[in-house]
Amino acid sequence: QEWLGTSIEFGVHPTEKGTELSFRHVGVAPALGCYADSVAGWTMFLTSIETLAATATGTPFAADTEQRATLRE
């Protein structure tokens, strides 16, 4: 319920070392009961995206090691 009316923003920005991906969940703030769980969940998925970009294998479902995302050429 607390996510109703929120939005998710991604940005891609060039840097001197490559590319930076930014993420923002607009409307989710520390005052909300879902905040801590939201931060933990987004951290897990965004870390998986970083791993996917670096190694071609991500782990979006860390609790279930049989489910893995693989970057396809």
**16-25 pLDDT per residue, tens:** 999 888 999 9
The pLDDT of residue 73 is 45
For residue 63, what pLDDT band results from cuts at 50, 70 and 90? low
The pLDDT of residue 2 is 92
Conformational region of residue 56, where left means phi above 0, alpha means psi within -120 to 50, and beta covers everything else: left
Within the chain, strands assigned E span 7-15, 18-26, 57-58, 69-70
For residue 31, what pLDDT band results from cuts at 50, 70 and 90? very high
49: nearest Cα among 24, 69, 25, 19? 69
The pLDDT of residue 62 is 61
The pLDDT of residue 64 is 53
